[in-house]
Amino acid sequence: MNAKQDTGKPGLRQKALAGLSGRNLILVGLMGAGKSAIGKLVANALDLPYVDTDQEIETAARMTISDLFAQYGEPEFRALETRVIERILAEGPAIVSTGGGAFVNPVNRELIARSGLSMWLKADLDTLWDRVRRRQTRPLLKTENPKQTLKDLMDKRYPVYAEADVTVLSRNVRKETVMRDVLKALAALDGGKTREE
Ligand SMILES: Nc1ncnc2c1ncn2[C@@H]1O[C@H](COP(=O)(O)OP(=O)(O)OP(=O)(O)O)[C@@H](O)[C@H]1O
Ligand SMILES: O=C(O)C1=C[C@@H](O)[C@@H](O)[C@H](O)C1
Ligand SMILES: [Mg+2]
């Protein structure tokens, strides 16, 4: 069985593509929301290119995001992030997973609004924490109490993520299930905003 048949109901892929109508799909949300994991599955299911802004930044800078933060600081990272997002969106359509802070910058939000559909993968604190606690790759979580830091970021960022065109719950279920929820949300698009909360 190939990936295109793996979307469950026949026709879901076509309907999702119709909802997306040739635009970029930009996944936003906090660290651990599944932007990268779900983004890859969605790209595979829709047979569209997949691009991860964090990965593109690392390639452009020839260093890891942790090293970028340590050597040049967050402002330099954010400037590079905006340049990378602008380029990726211009090269689309693609499924684009963004870094957790990308959508917080109004310049990035404007770029995203102009060239694609934004989708917030929303998860609760315990789900996010479960997913990120074992990895040391996220510089913003290198604090005394990383779970509290994650909570503070949620409080600050969730009102901004809520500005995304579509919201899909990144539930504590199989990734394939969340991927199908994404396709269903795309398929349900009729030019207006969709909330799946
Ligand atoms: N629905 C899910 N069920 C189980 N595990 C998941 C699910 N979604 C994501 N994960 C796992 O959670 C971890 C974090 O996910 P991922 O790296 O995709 O998050 P992200 O939103 O891209 O985070 P970041 O902003 O740090 O890049 C990964 O190990 C991923 O496999
Ligand atoms: O939430 C954030 O601000 C970040 C999330 C990661 O994806 C990386 O983009 C970086 O570690 C910053
Ligand atoms: Mg990611």
66 is in an annotated binding site: no
pLDDT confidence of residue 190: 58
Let me know: does 117 contact 168? Beta carbons within 8 Å. Answer: no
pLDDT confidence of residue 141: 85
For the CA of 41, the nearest ligand: 1
The CA–CA distances, whole Å, from 21 to 5, 63, 117, 153, 190 equal 20, 35, 10, 33, 11
Give phi and psi for 189, each to the nearest 5. -70, 130
For the CA of 141, the nearest ligand: 2
pLDDT confidence of residue 87: 97
pLDDT confidence of residue 155: 97
Let me know: does 123 contact 37? Beta carbons within 8 Å. Answer: no
39 is in an annotated binding site: no
33 is in an annotated binding site: yes
Query: What is the Å distance from ligand 1's center to 135 Cα?
Result: 11
pLDDT confidence of residue 134: 80
Q: Which atom of ligand 2 is nearest to the CA of 139?
A: 11
Homologous superfamily in CATH for domain 3-196? P-loop containing nucleotide triphosphate hydrolases (3.40.50.300)
Q: Whose CA is nearest to atom 1 of ligand 2?
A: 100
Chain centroid to Cα 62, Å, comes to 22
DSSP 150-182: HHHHHHHHHHHHTTSSEEEE--SS-HHHHHHHH
pLDDT confidence of residue 197: 40
Chain centroid to Cα 122, Å, comes to 10
The CA–CA distances, whole Å, from 196 to 49, 121, 125, 153 equal 25, 10, 18, 22
Decide whether any atom of ligand 1 lies within 6 Å of the 56 Cβ. Answer: no
Q: What is the pLDDT of residues 150-182, one digit of tens each?
A: 999 999 999 999 999 999 999 999 999 999 999
Q: Whose CA is nearest to atom 3 of ligand 2?
A: 101
Residues of the chain falling short of pLDDT 70: 1-10, 190-197
- Model confidence, pTM: 0.92
Query: What is the Å distance from ligand 3's center to 187 Cα?
Result: 24
Where are the domains positioned within the chain? 3-196
Query: What is the Å distance from ligand 2's center to 10 Cα?
Result: 36
Q: Whose CA is nearest to atom 8 of ligand 2?
A: 99
Amino acid at 131: R
